[in-house]
């Protein structure tokens, strides 16, 4: 055990004994969560393992501090240390991504997107409207003026990628607030290739004339040309918002450069900090200068008090992402996704878009005679943690689905490489080939129940354990 891992082991062991003295069931669940994460193949594309430094930063007294406002301009006294933290998080983000402006307050990806939407509305709709009527702010408006402005704000258009093509629910999906507060339309992918078709996006944008064009995804296994997306946005006068929540780590690690780096092209870029970026759970916004002052009003526009302990952890994670080792990691994430995809393809499986060039592999499980729900459950029984996902024009809908999404960021953090990911593909295909769809209580075909062949779970667990033991999670961390 190194000196540092001995210290970390001692810190966590002592912290858990303090928690134990108050609520032992939470201490027990925390210990169990570590054991579970250590012993399963975590292939959920939106998850990762943050470093002990990031995790430890979250467990401090910064959690107790209110700090509504912005750096140096707070609505509470005594925020000098929060100012240090927030300024550092923003500085690291600007430097890492080459962005003119960064805002570290959003509590999550959804909060970041909501903040971005309202910042765009403030900049593009409310600002010019107030100017036209000679008002400095909304407090100067009469009730009748305000009623008209409310109508203007509430009648704007948003164009984003559809959920079944890989978009996120905040990109205009009807059950989400983004699909309710905007008139929304969605662009899909080419029915043959399942790839993003920029001509289709352009045609939709010309017809729909959105205020906001969103690019970004949760389940699209390919890169996007953001120069082209900006060209389309400019042609129709839209604000280009890129949600890089999933692939921020690949941007930070310079795997996505040139036209594939969204930051220089988007007016506003949002992200989470906990997926491929490998930080704490949270959100972050990057913006061009012209949007900086609207985004800076995220609180009180949409947000309450920032989570100062999480902003501190964002600063630590962003500092880690600025190290050369993060570039090596990010490249390995992309290389491993290719190894996984090739492993599936050589074993006859069908992939959405036929492969990957990011960190996601989307397996179409219909050729195994299964729904996504059945495949996800059978894989979990065998210790392979994934999530089911729609495929384009999914015949099984968004609940049962026809796909399973795999991601490489977490296991790459553990040190998995080409051979391990090829083995993962072998194990997954073995499980799915040996899973039969079940039937309903009435004897009909079920989209949820399944039967896993004898011995499959055991042999998968054994083969996974061999790889996981070779690449321990938090090596040297031993809880007493």
What binding mask, one character per residue, do residues 419-458 give for ligand PLP by CB under 6 A, x or -? ----------------------------------------
Report in angstroms how near the CB of residue 459 gets to ligand PLP at its nearest: 32
Task: Based on the shown chain and the rule CB under 6 A, indicate whether residue 218 belongs to the binding site for ligand PLP.
Answer: yes
Alpha-carbon gap, residue 59 to 234, rounded angstroms: 44
| Residue 285 parent element (H or E) | strand 283-287
End-to-end CA distance of the chain: 14
Alpha-carbon gap, residue 291 to 116, rounded angstroms: 9
Task: Based on the shown chain and the rule CB under 6 A, indicate whether residue 386 belongs to the binding site for ligand PLP.
Answer: no
Helix axes 80-97 and 308-321, enclosed angle (nearest 10): 30
Spatial contact of 207 and 151, defined as CB atoms under 8 Å apart: no
Catalytic, out of 124, 230, 275, 447: 275
Report in angstroms how near the CB of residue 467 gets to ligand PLP at its nearest: 26
Q: Hey, which residues does 360 pair with through a beta bridge?
A: 407
Spatial CA neighbour of 278 closest among 32, 36, 54? 54
474 is catalytic: no
Report in angstroms how near the CB of residue 226 gets to ligand PLP at its nearest: 15
281 is catalytic: yes
243 is catalytic: yes
Task: Based on the shown chain and the rule CB under 6 A, indicate whether residue 46 belongs to the binding site for ligand PLP.
Answer: yes
Among 54, 58, 69, 109, binds ligand PLP (CB under 6 A): 109
Sorted by sequence, the CB contacts under 8 Å of residue 396 that are 6+ apart come out as 371, 372, 402, 447
Spatial contact of 188 and 165, defined as CB atoms under 8 Å apart: yes
68 is catalytic: yes
Among 272, 332, 386, 464, binds ligand PLP (CB under 6 A): 272
Closest residue to ligand PLP using C-beta atoms: 109
Alpha-carbon gap, residue 375 to 386, rounded angstroms: 9
Which range of residues in 65-73, 104-112, 128-136, 450-458 is near ligand PLP by CB under 6 A? 104-112
Residue 403: φ, ψ to 5°: -130, 165
Length of the chain: 480
Alpha-carbon gap, residue 129 to 120, rounded angstroms: 13
Helix (H, G, I), strand (E, B) or coil at 245: coil
Which range of residues in 58-66, 72-80, 105-113, 254-262 is near ligand PLP by CB under 6 A? 105-113
Which range of residues in 206-214, 241-249, 384-392, 407-415 is near ligand PLP by CB under 6 A? 241-249
198 is catalytic: no
Which range of residues in 109-117, 179-187, 252-260, 407-415 is near ligand PLP by CB under 6 A? 109-117
Active site residues: 66, 68, 243, 272, 275, 281
The binding site for ligand PLP (CB under 6 A) comprises 46, 108-110, 113, 168, 170, 216, 218, 243, 245-246, 272
Task: Give binding residues as ranges.
Answer: 163, 167-169, 289
């Amino acid at each position: 055990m190194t000196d540092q891992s001995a210290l970390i082991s001692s810190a966590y062991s002592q912290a858990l004994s303090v928690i134990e003295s108050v609520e032992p069931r939470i201490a027990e669940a925390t210990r169990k969560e570590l054991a579970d994460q250590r012993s399963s193949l975590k292939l959920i594309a939106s998850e990762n393992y943050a470093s002990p430094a990031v995790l430890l930063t979250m467990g401090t007294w910064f959690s107790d501090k209110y700090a509504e406002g912005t750096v140096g301009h707070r609505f509470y006294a005594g925020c000098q240390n929060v100012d240090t933290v927030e300024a550092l998080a923003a500085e690291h983000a600007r430097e890492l991504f080459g962005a003119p402006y960064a805002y570290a307050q959003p509590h999550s990806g959804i909060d970041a997107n909501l903040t971005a939407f309202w910042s765009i509305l403030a900049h593009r709709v409310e600002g010019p409207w107030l100017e036209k009527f000679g008002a400095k702010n909304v407090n100067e408006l009469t009730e009748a003026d305000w009623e008209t402005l409310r109508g203007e704000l509430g009648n704007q258009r948003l164009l984003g990628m559809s959920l079944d093509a890989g978009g996120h629910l905040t990109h205009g999906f009807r059950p989400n607030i983004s699909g309710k507060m905007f008139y929304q339309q969605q662009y899909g992918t080419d029915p043959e290739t399942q790839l993003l078709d920029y001509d289709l996006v352009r045609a939709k944008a010309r017809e729909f004339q959105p205020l906001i064009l969103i690019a970004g995804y949760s389940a699209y296994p390919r890169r996007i040309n953001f120069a082209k997306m900006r060209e389309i946005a400019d042609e129709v006068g839209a604000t280009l918002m890129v949600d890089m929540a999933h692939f921020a780590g690949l941007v930070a690690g310079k795997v996505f450069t040139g036209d594939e780096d969204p930051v220089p092209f988007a007016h506003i870029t949002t992200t989470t900090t906990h997926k491929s970026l490998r930080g704490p759970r949270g959100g972050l916004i990057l913006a061009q200068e012209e949007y900086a002052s609207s985004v800076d009003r995220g609180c009180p526009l949409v947000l309450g008090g920032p989570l100062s302990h999480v902003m501190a952890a964002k600063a630590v994670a962003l500092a880690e992402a600025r190290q050369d080792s993060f570039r090596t990691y990010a490249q390995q994430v992309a290389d491993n996704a290719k190894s996984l995809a090739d492993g599936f393809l050589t074993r006859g499986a069908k992939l959405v878009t036929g492969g990957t060039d990011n960190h996601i592999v989307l397996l179409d499980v219909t050729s195994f005679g299964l729904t996504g729900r059945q495949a996800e459950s059978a894989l979990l029984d065998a210790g392979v943690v994934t999530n089911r996902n729609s495929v384009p024009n999914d015949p099984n809908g968004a609940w049962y689905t026809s796909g399973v999404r795999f991601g490489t960021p977490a296991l790459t953090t553990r040190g998995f490489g080409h051979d391990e990911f090829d083995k993962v593909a072998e194990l997954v295909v073995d499980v799915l080939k040996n899973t039969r769809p079940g039937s309903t209580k009435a004897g009909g075909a079920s989209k949820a129940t399944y039967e896993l062949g004898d011995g499959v779970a055991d042999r998968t667990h054994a083969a996974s354990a061999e790889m996981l033991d070779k690449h321990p999670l938090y090596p040297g961390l031993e809880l007493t």
